[in-house]
Structure 1
Amino acid sequence: MARGGQQSLARVAVVVRAGAVPLFWLGVLSAAIGLLVPGFTGRRVGVLAGAALFLVCAAVVALVRRRRYRAWADRASRAGKFDFLQDRAVTLRNWRKAHRWWLVVAFVLGIACSIAVPAAFGMAVAGAGAGLWLKAVWIGREERGAGTVYWVRTDWAGTGRPAGKQVKGYRTTGVAAGDAAPGGARRRASR
């Protein structure tokens, strides 16, 4: 949304964190529904396989592309005076709207795969959500350490990929800018 030097910017941590809650809870729900079906392997095997998949997915999602995030953060430039900082709620809504069909497919697959291995795929989806949350927490620690928060142009972030190939750089502001705390969490009202 560039108009005459103005850029619309979304918080990097908020874009990363946007998928954490829906993926986690849809995964937990589909795993719980999947436990109602005994499946071919049995519930015990399904839960053990699901626990392993949860840990593996959480670790992979949390660790993937860290080097790219760090490289963009190191080369980030200061946000301009007329840059528009997108609200946290708008970023979350845009991500969820763009990914709603993928979330539905993941939920349905989590239930359908329970015929073979109960709860396993649902727990893997929940692990992906937990991994996104861990990545956002890591970005928050980086932001606190640097004393800045990182922003990406909304047209570059596209459908929720703040470190994708189309990204050409990050912008920075002070930690007080925007309505989200470092790491993308909702900023608590000060008393």
Structure 2
Amino acid sequence: MARGGGQGLARVAVVVRAGAAPLWWLGVFAAGIGALAPGLTGRRIGVLAGAALFIVAAAVVAYLRRRRYTALIGSAARAGKHDVLQDRAVAVRNWRRGHRWWLLLSFLAALGSAFAVPAAGGMLLAGCGAGLGLKAAWLGRRERADGVLLWVRVDWLDGRGGRPAGKAVKAYRSTGIAAGDAAPGGARRRTAALV
């Protein structure tokens, strides 16, 4: 709980987007290394299977729990003046620190799968990263359309700094579009050049 009865708030889109880059790059790296191994199925079948897994993973992750997000967005209450808005870098760091072992295990599993199906595991991992990026972009479009930014209480996120639509999350908070240091969708806010 923050000073003065306010709550610490993290941007929903930032938390969603936090895993996109590491999953994407670990997946690309694992797929590149995995393509060097002939595997049990051969490279051609492995790459084709990986491409299918990439598309399916990106679609599933992008649309997963969208109804829950929509319900939370619809019931978002205005943030109070004592609420503390978490910086983008802090939210990203918390998510990545909380998920570092899962990221490492996923990468090692993707590499290991190359001995059976070359490149497929890495492309699956990259697809998950792409799906998170698509979900964050969808949230950004909702934020722009509604003219608000969406926030979630930090204490409602699980211990790993993720799951902004998990069971513990009761509602979102909203602020004006200029609040915080992240643009709609969770990307870094681009500051206008001084003239």
8 Å Cα contact 2:4-2:82 kept in structure 1: no
Residue pair 2:85, 2:180 contacting (<8 A) in 1 also: yes
Map of 1:161 onto structure 2:
163
After superposition, residues 71-150 of structure 1 pair within 5 angstroms as: 71-150=71-150
1:32 aligns with 32
Distance 2:2 2:187 in 1: 27
Structure 1 segments, 4+ long, off by >3 Å, are: 1-4
Task: State the TM-score, normalizing by the size of structure 2.
Answer: 0.96
- Say whether 1:188 aligns with 2:194: no
User: CA offset at residue 155 of structure 1?
Assistant: 1.2
Q: Which amino acid aligns with 2:190?
A: R
Matched to 1:7, the amino acid is Q
- Structure 1, unaligned stretches of length 5 or more? none
How much does 1:6 deviate? 1.6
Instruction: Name the SS of the counterpart of 1:115 in structure 2.
Output: coil
Judge conservation of contact 2:19–2:95 (CA < 8 Å) in 1. yes
Return the letter of the residue paired with 1:102.
Answer: W
Partner Cα distance (2:50, 2:132) in 1: 18
Identity %: 68
What secondary structure does 1:10 align onto?
Answer: strand
Q: Tell me the distance in 1 between the aligned counterparts of 2:2 and 2:118.
A: 48
SS of 2:9's equivalent in the other structure is: strand
Q: Which amino acid aligns with 1:90?
A: V
- 2:173 equivalent in structure 1: 171
Task: Give how far 1:5 is off.
Answer: 1.2
Tell me which residue corresponds to 2:5.
5
What amino acid does structure 1 have at the position aligned with 2:15? V
Deviates most, 3-12 or 178-187: 3-12
SS at match of 1:121: helix
CA root-mean-square deviation: 0.8
Shift of 1:3: 4.7
Question: What is the CA-CA distance between 1:2 and the residue it aligns to?
Answer: 4.5
State the aligned residue count.
191
Matching residue of 1:152: 152
Partners of 1:106 and 1:155 in 2: how far apart?
27
Question: Aligned equivalents of 2:82 and 2:2: distance in 1?
Answer: 11
Query: How many angstroms does 1:127 deviate by?
Result: 0.1
